[in-house]
Each structure stands twice: as structure tokens, then as C-alpha cells.
Structure 1
Amino acid sequence: MLLIQFVHDSGAQRVGLLDAERGQVRPLRGVASTYALALRAIEQQRSIDQLLSELELGEPLRYEAIVGEGRLLPPLTHPDPAHCYVTGTGLTHLGSAASRDAMHKKLKEATETLTDSMKMFRLGLEGGKPLAGQVGVAPEWFYKGDGSIVRASGQPIEMPAFAADGGEEAEVVGLYVVGPDGTPYRVGFALGNEFSDHVIEQQNYLYLAHSKLRACSVGPALRVGPLPAHVEGESRLRAGDGSVRWKKPFLSGEANMSHTVANLEHHHFKYKLFRRPGDVHLHFFGAAVLSFADGVSVAPGESWEIESPEFGPALVNSLAVEPAQAVELRTL
């Protein structure tokens, strides 16, 4: 089951049930946001599926019209963007180590010494899938920002003027709401473009934190229920004339990962800071392929398409560059 968040013709925010094959959206009557729907499910201690089976549906709308008119929103938002954490884990996929290792390896170390990236990846292979009830090895973890950096499908992703690069990372994202007693609840999963500055990261691995402080995109739809064990998709880069300049298939789901989803979730939510009642969390689960690893540099105006049949329509965003701005500090 796929849900989208959008702005209705009336100007009100709504949630809709998406029929991807027909390209139709059926608005949920009496539901203003996915966040409100999740809070209702938490309060009633029922699943989202159970609530959806009882909600009345409005007249069908065209998905293409919603996107074309710029009315599509990210699939889960918080009324106050400061209460939405955007975070992620890396080196979690079986195909991710080679790209990352190549980025961080010094030429003289070609076969002599394992990079930190490869060491972290091997730790995941050895202990990222613990038995039920046990805790596995901790993954790499990073902070991207708050809800203000999240873009919907159809919106541009802005690269800061000071950035050295802007490249995509096609990933699956977990979407969560923390309940009143501090219990995290998973609402579902979505596709994401974990946009990063790989040139800065390549200069020195200690710049990784800087490279992640960028905008990103999530959506267009939220998939309710568990993540399939095997997810297949394709990541594409289109030039300004619409032609495909680069494309590559990607795999996700636990069958293609070195960690279980539960282990990655545990190592994020084990911190009390991330169990504050009412907060929203968007957590990226890692990428297996990226165009930068193939020597591609994305130009402003070019666009990405990240698509998987499990998640409905493609997540589409173009690259834009923010104007340069000097930061002025004052003494009080």
C-alpha cells in the first residue's frame, strides 16, 4: 500500500492512497497529514493498514497533475521541521564497499592496508545480522540535518555555492514517529536520494560529516508495511536535453545488505536523544551504487530518477546551485 502527501486544490494538506498502475490518488477523508495518521494509529494501538481499511476515500485525482503543479510533498513531515531528524547509515549493502573503498584508498596502499571503510564493511559482514533478541555490530552513522532539508519528488535539490560536488545516492529510507512514551514506531519505507558532496569526502575521510550536510529527497510514496527482503531498482541521470547520461541498477533489502534493518534501527534509536516523544525520523539505510564512483560529475539542470517497482513512481529531482552568501557574525 502506497501513501503520498500533497496539497489539495483547496490549498489544504492531504494524504492520498496511490494506485501507481492507474496513476490515481484517492484522498483519505479526515486525514490532513501522514504524521496525524501515525499519531492516530499510535493512540489506538492499531496498524496503519487497519486504519486505512476503515477510512473513507475521496474522488480520484491524477498523480501527474499533482506532481506537475508542484503540489506533491515528502511522504512524512513534522509540523515543525526542527522536530524531524534526517540521519543515515553507510557501508550497509553488499555492493557498497568497493565504491567507498576506491574513494578513500591511497594509491600506495592499494593492496597493503585495509581502509577504514573496508574495515567497517567487514565488521558488518561478520556481525550485522544478529540472532533475534541479540544486538549486532554498530554501523557507520551520520547526521544530515532536520526537516528543512527534505525535498519532494519534482523539486530541485540545491547544492551550496561552496560545495565541491553534488552527487546522488539511491537508497531506501525508513520513516518513523516517536510515540508519547518514547517508543519509536516505523510508519513505512520510501525511496530516497541521499545527496552528498563526494569530492569533499574524498579529500579526507574526516570531512565525511561536512559532505553529508546537504539537502536530500524522499518519496514520492511511503510504502506501508515491512521492507521486502529483495528490492530491485534503477538510478538514472538525465542530461538537460532529457537523454540518459548514466544509469545503473541497484539492490536493497536485507537479502542484499550486511545488516538487518532491525540492527540499524536499534543503533539509531538506542540514543535517548532520538526517542523524544512526537519527533519524526527519516533514516537512510545506505547506497550500493552512485554515479560519482563511475567518474560522473553532475551539472546544474541535470536530473536524477530513482525508481523501484516496490515503491511506485520514480523519485525525480534536478540539481540546482544556491547563490553564494557571506555569513556575518556579530558580537553581542
Structure 2
Amino acid sequence: MQIRGDQGRQVVAADEGGAFVVTGVASVRVLAGRAIAAGQSLAAAVEAAGRGAAVDLAAAASEGRLLAPIDHDDPAHLILSGTGLTHLGSAEGRDKMHRAAAEAAHQTDSMRMFLEGVEGGKPAAGTAGQQPEWFYKGDGSQLVGPGEALSMPGFAKDGGEEPELAGIYLIGPDGTPHRIGIALANEFSDHVTERHNYLWLAHSKLRQAALGPEILTGTPPADVRGTSRIRRDGETVWEKPFLSGEANMSHTLANLEHHHFKYDLFRRPGDIHVHFFGTATLSFSDGFTTQEGDVFEIEAAPFALPLANPLARAAGGEGGTGVKVL
């Protein structure tokens, strides 16, 4: 984790004994870089750095001191991307969006891609399986932390939550991707724009995204069960359980990672990658319409803290970009 301390940002680690400051480390990225250089695990890198003062995570959360658990000094070197149609049941909501644009007697492209993932998304270890849907969300300037507003552009048609897990990666000096861990995430998209025409999916994904405060290190759990809800004026107006983890997915994480990092441009040493693994649960699929001021809340074990972000809209609309001809 990363929190605001009296002297600036602090890196915090937690185990069965509680949470504590990791001494002499400026960021999680720096800590991960040390681990890579030393050829050791993150847990070993934490012990090598040293344990500092104990941290009350509940107090840090209530005081608004939680930060996004990963960042980069140069936001251009943090890449946000993701995969869709990766969860069992995830085609249902997408198919609802696109069915009207296709003849009922034929499968939509979304359904075909989903079924191909079910068939070939979990290959034998060490082999490549079916490639998933892939999208780009932006760079580090689009990443927000716990409690910060998820702001849709002034021209957006919708701002909708997507509760899921995200993999956090640092590219080593030799170009090898290293998974730091996984985090709770709200991938946040414009589902009205996507529904209008599936070819606008790329536009609908160019939005901010939020990460929960914790990175879970080590082998991720295969079965993650959580709850996604929307609060309006303090009242819960929509709520639904969601599932993630490989046991509930049509792809392995290894297969999703292979098809992202097979591209040389995604193995640039020093870069951070935040890759969203997808979801099958959306309020939009239930016909719910979000409003500015709504608060998205996502929680799931084994993460100790929830992710909450209010919905906002940026100023401006579909005006000119002010491009000048030279």
C-alpha cells in the first residue's frame, strides 16, 4: 500500500501481525525494483528494507490518507489496459448491448469471442491459448486512488462501474514483466457509447480507472467473491455480488498476460502496467442509470479495505479541440 504520512508518501506492508511502514522506500515501484535487482520476492525485499512504525489502516482510511497502490514519477510510463469477455457469464451483459444490432438468429461478435475464450482460454501451462478482447484505457494520468472522484468527460454519455481485479506489473531491466500483485479495481467505462456501436468500444474505454488501496502479493486466490454497490444520497440504490479469480473466468491469468506482454512495446524496462482482467457484473446491464454524485463501492475478500469513488463530470462538452494547422 501507499499512504500519506506526516513526511509525505509512505509504503505500508501488512501480514498476519498487522500493518507497518516499510522503512527507506519511496514507493511501491521502488520496492519492486529492489526485489527484481536482488532476485528476491517482495516479502524478502520488505524484510530487507526493515519494518517501521505500526499503521492503523482503518484510521488511515477514515482520514483520507489512502493512495493508489502504484504510480510512476512520469505518468506516460504507466499503461492502463484491459481485457473483456473473460469471465463466465460476462457475455450476457455485453450481448444485451449488441443483440439489437444483429439478427437474433446469429451470434454476435461478442458471443463468438466469449465462446472462443471458453473453448481455448485455459491452455496447458507454457502454451498460448485463445487471445482475448483487448483495450487501452490511457496512461498514469487516468489512474485515481481510493476516495477520489471518477470523472467522466463532459461529452460522455454515461459513467458506469466495472468491479474487477487488476494485475500490477513492473518491467525489469531485461524486458521481463514482473507481477507485483493484484488489486481491487473499478475499470469505469461509458456503456451507452459502447452500446450505440460496438466499434466505439475503444472510445468507451478511454476513461479514468480506480484502484483499491491494497496490492495482494504472491499467488492470487482462484475464487474471489465480492459485492458491487452504488450509493445515492447515502442510500444503496443498486447492489449485486460479483465473482472473479481464475475459477470464475474463461481465461487463465497467464493467458491474458501472455497476450498483453507478447508485444515488444509493452516490455519497455521501467514501465508500470495496470491490466484489468474483466468482469461479468454491471449495473448498466440491469438497466440502472448512474448520476453525478453517486458513489461506487466495491469490496471483496481477501482485500481488507473497500474501494469507494464518487462519480463526477468534467466541464465542457463535444466542442472543438483547438487544433491549429502549422
In the superposition, the TM-score normalised over structure 2's length comes to: 0.96
- Residue identity opposite 1:289 in structure 2: T
Shift of 1:185: 0.3
Q: Is the 8 A contact 2:83 2:276 kept in 1?
A: yes
* Partners of 1:144 and 1:96 in 2: CA distance: 19
Other-structure match for 2:213: 220
Other-structure match for 1:280: 272
* Partners of 1:288 and 1:55 in 2: CA distance: 40
Shift of 1:17: 1.8
Shift of 1:132: 1.3
* Partners of 2:165 and 2:125 in 1: CA distance: 23
Q: Deviations over 1:101-137 (max 9, x none)?
A: 1111117723x00000000000001100001121101
Aligned residue runs from structure 1 range 9-158, under 5 A? 9-10=6-7, 12-18=8-14, 25-106=19-100, 109-110=103-104, 112-158=105-151
Unaligned runs of 5+ in 1: none
User: Does residue 312 in structure 1 map to residue 309 in structure 2?
Assistant: no
Shift of 1:331: 2.2
- Residue identity opposite 1:173 in structure 2: A
Q: Deviations over 1:174-225 (max 9, x none)?
A: 0000000100000000011010000000000000000000011012111011
* Partners of 2:130 and 2:123 in 1: CA distance: 8
* Partners of 2:249 and 2:297 in 1: CA distance: 22
Other-structure match for 1:8: 5
Other-structure match for 2:189: 196
- Residue identity opposite 1:13 in structure 2: R
* Partners of 1:255 and 1:177 in 2: CA distance: 25
Q: Deviations over 1:14-36 (max 9, x none)?
A: 111246x99x7411111110000
* Partners of 1:330 and 1:78 in 2: CA distance: 31
* Partners of 1:53 and 1:232 in 2: CA distance: 31
* Partners of 2:149 and 2:126 in 1: CA distance: 42
* Partners of 1:98 and 1:179 in 2: CA distance: 38
Shift of 1:69: 4.0
Q: Deviations over 1:263-300 (max 9, x none)?
A: 00000000000000000000000011010000111111
Q: Deviations over 1:308-332 (max 9, x none)?
A: 1112210100001111164312222
Q: Deviations over 1:153-172 (max 9, x none)?
A: 11110011100000000010
* Partners of 1:50 and 1:219 in 2: CA distance: 23
* Partners of 2:61 and 2:86 in 1: CA distance: 32
Match of 2:244 among 245, 252, 258: 252
- Residue identity opposite 1:30 in structure 2: G
- Residue identity opposite 1:103 in structure 2: M
* Partners of 2:177 and 2:92 in 1: CA distance: 33
* Partners of 1:105 and 1:259 in 2: CA distance: 24
* Partners of 2:83 and 2:101 in 1: CA distance: 26
- SS where residue 324 of structure 2 aligns? coil
In the superposition, the TM-score normalised over structure 1's length comes to: 0.94
Other-structure match for 2:160: 167
Instruction: Give the percent of matched residue pairs that are identical in Structure 1 and Structure 2.
Output: 53
Give the paired residue count: 324
* Partners of 2:231 and 2:86 in 1: CA distance: 27
* Partners of 1:108 and 1:70 in 2: CA distance: 47
- Residue identity opposite 1:263 in structure 2: N
